[in-house]
Structure 1
């Protein structure tokens, strides 16, 4: 199921790849991709009891953010994403719910980290434009345009298993508040190993993309609207992190 969903992104968005190496995925630069989202290396490494998810780009990571639209409906989300073979149950969602992906996102029109005050102004509802971390579960939806993918919706009345830091939106998304860094050419998120159940291994890939909130605010609520770059070129999750590395 996971590989079927992954290949929904193959085709027009594929980019050439230099090599798949134990240290991650090295990708060709592309004149067709904005430098801030043009992936050149994607990797996951271990630092003590932390997993370090990192993307290196050809330009300044995080330098491009969405322009505010003034409303939640139709709002854009810019993202650096690590799709993985980890089961969605590893971080607190229902098991086998779709593709579990870690994401670094910016969206100035809404705030979905209600437990955090990222800008330190004493308010927890006004800093969605700052880069922050999410887990999200991706599933297929033909109405989402060329990508064919969305963040999985939660039907009205349904009560699926969700992480304790679920922000309350009716989609499979989590706001874990992980430490992160967006500077120079690197976008990075540090994830505690215990937060993903101390896996022995998992596969991963890298994507830069935009998502958009449905203007009608109904299923699908949040579609993958544009895919700018794919580290592997075909979203085959070729890189492997192993606990023994």
Structure 2
């Protein structure tokens, strides 16, 4: 389902196909008992406050309380994520332009580290920028975009030196009760004002054979809008 909703956006290189003139802000969603409470999105919002962009998602339960079980190995391991797909261009987060769908993701994965500069982050929730593209080899139809062997694309300074279009910036990230929040200096995020967004909770999985696609969207827990129409609009908060 997730891939079908995004196919047009992948072809265009961004999610701008869904950007329109009148969008609600924030996105509110009805609780769904069938979804695990910690991933059952009830509201997601992105606002700019003075010199900061603040990404917030609220859930029916306690945000961050559920984590994937450790497997003891990298291949086949799982990642849980709170995700904000956006209409940003990949060039605005330090990669080449028009590489795919730009999303901010707060993730937990107990079996490996992907922090910038070789740091450790396997035991904490932490933020990433990811660029997604369609791949039918993935159960969820999408992958974090692979970097083919031998290619040296433009990457941001905090790229964790893995063969994926993923960035590991050290943005302040907090979990408090039902909410997860990420704060990003506007000086590091051009194009966010007026951008469109949605909210997603999902599970990802590392390919057991360590081949492309290396990191797949494996299971979508919930989409805030219900149809990934990016109805959210980034506005300035007074």
Q: TM-score, normalised by structure 2?
A: 0.89
Could you tell me which residue of structure 1 aligns to residue 86 of structure 2? Answer: 84
Could you tell me which residue of structure 2 aligns to residue 234 of structure 1? Answer: 227
Say yes or no: does 1:21 pair with 2:21. Answer: no
Q: Secondary structure at the match of 1:201?
A: coil
Shift of 1:197: 1.4
Say yes or no: does 1:112 pair with 2:105. Answer: no
Q: Distance in 2 between matches of 1:57 and 1:166?
A: 29
Shift of 1:129: 2.6
Please show how residues 86-165 of structure 1 align to structure 2 within 5 Å.
Answer: 86-115=88-117, 124-125=119-120, 127-145=121-139, 147-165=140-158
Q: CA RMSD in A?
A: 2.0
Could you tell me which residue of structure 1 aligns to residue 208 of structure 2? Answer: 215
Say yes or no: does 1:52 pair with 2:27. Answer: no
Say yes or no: does 1:187 pair with 2:180. Answer: yes
Matched length:
223
Q: Distance in 2 between matches of 1:80 and 1:47?
A: 21
Classify 1:237/1:7 alpha carbon distance in 2 versus 1 (closer, same or farther; 3 Å). Answer: farther
- The runs of 5 or more residues in structure 1 that have no matched partner are 9-19, 117-123
Q: Per-residue CA shift, 1:179-210, capped at 9, x if unaligned?
A: 01012000111011111115442000000000
Classify 1:149/1:5 alpha carbon distance in 2 versus 1 (closer, same or farther; 3 Å). Answer: farther
Could you tell me which residue of structure 2 aligns to residue 4 of structure 1? Answer: 7
Shift of 1:243: 5.3
Q: Distance in 2 between matches of 1:7 and 1:91?
A: 17
Say yes or no: does 1:176 pair with 2:169. Answer: yes
Q: TM-score, normalised by structure 1?
A: 0.86
Q: Distance in 1 between matches of 2:163 and 2:198?
A: 26
Could you tell me which residue of structure 2 aligns to residue 69 of structure 1? Answer: 71
Q: Secondary structure at the match of 2:137?
A: helix
